[in-house]
Amino acid sequence: MKFLKIFFILFLLFFRPISFAESNQDKLKSLQIEIDGITRNQSIGPKKTYITPNTREVGYAMYYEMVKKKIEQIGTRDFPILDGQRLYGKLIVRIPIFQDGSIFEKDGGPRVEKTSGNEQLDEIALKIVHHSAPFDAIPNNLRSKDRDDILVVITVFNFTDGKTVVDSESKKQIEN
């Protein structure tokens, strides 16, 4: 009986590599086609540039400052309040901005990258981002010549002392 099991296993191992190799080849071909499609879509789609408080290139840093000031203004005016109580906390937010200054919603729009721990505060922060838009159009000197552009702003919101501060201690927060 043991001999039959060993013979059967050897038989399967001996004959299986041909069909197994062929199915792997087919799988590799289909994956390559899928990867080629994704690569084509990315090269055709908008160019994404990420900017943070750490961004040093002058044009991008200036655009970041403009976005920051607008959000701080709206966030301070519409400070988060729930049931008559102010909400305090810090969170990291990702804000994709299309070249015309509108929020780019196609990939899900703005989102919280690191929560404050308070779901209501996180939701209100995203509403503040939407109320702050549209932002200024991306300057021509920062734009691609052959395709659309998206600037993805990643920053820290700090709701404290009745005002909204964007990027307070962000450099450390975003790196961690």
Residue partners of 38: CB distance under 8 A and separation at least 6: none
Q: Examine residue 17 and say whether the peptide bond preceding it is cis (omega within 30 degrees of 0).
A: no
In this predicted model, what pLDDT tens digit does every residue of 76-135 receive, in sequence order? 999 998 899 999 999 999 999 999 999 999 889 999 999 999 999 999 999 999 999 999
Instruction: Look at residue 161 in the predicted model and tell me its pLDDT.
Output: 79
* pTM of structure: 0.70
User: What pLDDT is attached to residue 93?
Assistant: 96
For residue 141, is pLDDT > 80?
A: yes
- The whole-number pLDDT of residue 45 equals 76
* pLDDT value at residue 145: 85
Domain topology for 47-175: 3.30.1150
Mean pLDDT of 54-73: 94
> d(Cα 148, Cα 97) in Å, to the nearest integer?
11
Centre a 10 Å sphere on the Cβ of residue 176 and count the other Cβ atoms it contains: 7
Q: Where are the domains of the chain?
A: 1-44, 47-175
